[in-house]
Every structure is written in structure tokens, then in C-alpha cells.
Structure 1
Amino acid sequence: MISRTVGINRLGSVFKSTSFVRSLNRPSLLLQEIRKSPQQATQSSKIKPIYKPPVTIDRELPDPFVKRDENRRYFVFYSIALVVTCAVIFNYEKSSSPIINSSLYFLRRSTIAQDALGKDIEFASSWPWIWGKLNTVQGVIDVKFKVKGNEQKAWVLLNASRESKLHPFQVHKFALEVDTKDAKVEYNLMDDPEFEFDL
């Protein structure tokens, strides 16, 4: 009884297969499909994987250590160029900051600065360099930069600090240092009675 049930199930799986429909016109093929087990039928219906040839290289790979000295020189030049570029960018941010602009505005209206340098006070060069630390977030300003007038050139010295963002800056030093033939002469710009300088 069990063998008869297994045979009926096997015939049912064969009748459902697509190869059975194709073999109706040929009795020999029909007999082969009936004799096949369901496992063999499913294995034969699987698609064979496509063969992919391995990747081959016709040329030899280049040696990365052949131009070791040349690569080191390029790395040194690149590092120097990167440092100089970063310094120029940071200096541009300093020169265009509101603190430097307000300092230069005060110099143009100060009688002490005009007596020492003359009129038309501006940066000493078209690319001014701001030396020192200028960090308003930390509350530290300690910079100097060069200016010129119609008669003389001088260094501007500015030193200020603050306790926190809620407090204003306290100016400790704001002076004008002029180089003369004999010695350096320092003018205290905080003594100017006409204008107040606040940061």
C-alpha cells in the first residue's frame, strides 16, 4: 500500500514537470521521465554556473620604492606648501577681523598717531602680517602689526583680555612704537583724550 502511494506521488511530480509535456510525442522520452526520481529531475533543471576565467596581468606591477628619494622630496615640498597656505589663511582672518579694523580706524582719528606718523594712516604693505595671538573665543588678544603714514612707519602693539564672553575686553596695552635713528619711541595711544577705544 505504501509503495503504491509513493509511485502515484512520483507520477504526479513527473506530470507537472515541463519536460514531460515536451516528451508526449516521443514514448522513449516519456518512459525516461517516469523513471526519474523527483530529486534527479530538480537537479537536471538547475542552470549550470557560468565559467569566469581568472584575471591575469600581462605586465609586472611597478615597484613603489624605486623613486623613494623623489617621493620624499615631493612630500617635503607638499608639507611646506601646506603649512604656508594655512598660515596665510589664518593671517587673512586676523587682518580682516573687527578688532584690527577698529584699531586701524582709531589710529586714523587719533591726534597722537597723526603727530607721530602723519595723515593717511594704513597698513604698511598691501599684504599686512598680524603677529601674535588673536583669539576672541578664549578672550586673548596679543598682536602687533605695522602701519604707515605720510611721514613715518610704526608698529601697533595691542594687548587685551577678558574673563568670559559676558565681560568686555580690558585693554592692557595699546601703543605705537616708532623706530627712529637713535632709539625706539613708544606712544601710548590710551592717553588720547579725544577718542575712547573699546573692544
Structure 2
Amino acid sequence: MNLTRPLIRKTILRPILHRTLIAAPGPNTGPLLTRRADRELPNPNPGRKWLYTFPIFVVAVGAGMLGIFNYQKSSSSVVHSTLYALRTSPRAREILGDEIYFAQQIPWISGEMNQLHGRIDISFWVKGNKQQAKMRFRSIRPDRMSYFRTEEWSLEKEDGTVVQLLESDSDPFRKD
């Protein structure tokens, strides 16, 4: 009795209807050139790898926001006006020297600049030919229908002494 003959006849006469499943493409396997209907579906729960990159994303967005807000302050008319007033003030030129400008290449403007609500309180480092100092400018608007009133405009030298610039007679901010 020959047992192999019925097995050969079944496999030859009847085609193979079952194909093997092909694994789904992985993240680094390259482009998918052919699509097959019998391929394995991707994993719907890929894991929590995004949790590792989320803090980096938050730090990058935060640093970008700080940079944008600082750029907005540094390019405002208030900062440009105070720098112009420093350049034209005899007392500031006596302390700092000529060619007064920001002390750093990218200046950091500290404080609040809220013109809508009438509060300006900023400070930043400036330098001249002689030395550098921290300039502080504070101005308020008591009510909506009044003008800004300058309360402080000073230079703090590196040795810690503070020179008030509002005391001079040629002050460009004095409206009293």
C-alpha cells in the first residue's frame, strides 16, 4: 500500500489557498512600495515614547516664548526712547561716555512693560566708552485719561552706586 500517492494528488490538484502573513512595516524599514491585503496590521498601542520627548518640547516652546517676548520689549518705542534720552543726557554721557548702547549683543529687558494698563518698569544693561551700568526706567499712568508720569530714571553703576538722572534740568522725560 502506497500512502504517499493520495497526499501528492491532493497537493498537486488543489492549489494552496493559505499565504503566510507579512509583518507590518516598522518605523525604520523604508518606504512601503507594495500594499498587500494580507499583511499584518500595525500595533494600535505603540507605547509611550512621546513621554520622553514631551519635556524637551515644553522647554523649547518656553525658551522660544521668552525670546519672542524679550525681542518685543527690546524693539519697543519705550526702550528706543530711553536709549536716545541716555545718548542725549549730559549726565549719562558723563557717567557712561560716548557711544551708549546695549551692553550685550542680545539685550535682556527685565521688568514689566504694560502700556495698556499704564505700568512701565524696565531695566537693562547699557554701556558707553567709559563703563557700563544698569539703566532703570519706571513710569506710571494714574488713570486712563492722563499722561505717563516718570517716577524713576536711573543708572546703577557696577560698584553699586545709583545715579538719578531725573534730577538734571535737561531731563527729556520730566513733564512737571
What's the TM-score once normalised by structure 1's chain length? 0.65
**Which residue of the other structure, out of 139, 145, 150, is the alignment partner of 2:118?**
139
- Counterpart position of 1:100: 79
Q: Which residue number corresponds to residue 90 of structure 2?
A: 111
Structure 2 residue 172 is matched with structure 1 residue 191: no
Shift in Å, 1:166:
2.0
Identity of matched residues, %? 32
- Can you give the 5+ residue segments of structure 2 that lack an aligned partner in the other structure? 1-36
- Asked whether the 8 Å contact 2:121–2:139 carries over to 1, the reply is yes
> Aligned with 2:156: secondary structure?
strand
Please give the residue correspondences for 1:39-78 in structure 2 after superposition, counting only pairs within 5 Å. 58-66=39-47, 68=48, 70-78=49-57
Instruction: Indicate the RMSD between aligned Cα atoms, in angstroms.
Output: 1.8
**CA distance, structure 2, for counterparts of residue 64 and residue 92 of structure 1:** 42
Residue by residue over 1:57-94, the C-alpha shift from the partner in whole angstroms, topping out at 9 and shown as x without a partner, is 7323324353x2x4112111111110111111111111
Decide whether the 8 Å contact of 2:133 with 2:158 is kept in 1. yes
* Counterpart mapping for 1:10-49 below 5 A: none
Query: Which structure: larger Rg?
Result: 1
Q: In structure 2, the residue corresponding to 1:195 is in which secondary structure?
A: coil
| C-alpha distance in structure 2 between counterparts of 1:131 and 1:65, whole Å | 44
The TM-score, its normalising length taken from structure 2, stands at: 0.73
Q: Cα offset for 1:160?
A: 1.2
How far does residue 148 in structure 1 lie from its aligned partner after superposition? 0.3
Distance 2:68 2:148 in 1: 25
1 CA distance for matches of 2:171 and 2:153?
13
* Structure 1 Cα separation of the partners of residues 93 and 40 of structure 2: 75
**Aligned partner letter, 1:177:** E
Where 1:191 maps in the other structure, the secondary structure is coil
Mapping for residues 120-131 of structure 1, pairs under 5 Å: 120-131=99-110
In 2, the alpha carbon distance for the partners of 1:57 and 1:198 equals: 82
| Aligned mates of 2:38, 2:95 — CA distance in 1 | 77
Q: What is the CA–CA distance in structure 1 between the aligned matches of 2:38 and 2:162, rounded to whole Å?
A: 75
2:153 to 147, 169, 174: 174
Check conservation: 1:157, 1:173, Cα contact below 8 A: yes
Structure 1: tracts of 5 or more residues without a match: 1-55
If each structure's helix is expressed as a fraction of its own residues, which one has the higher value?
A: 1
Structure 1 residue 141 displacement after superposition: 0.8
2:131 is matched by which residue type in structure 1?
Answer: Q
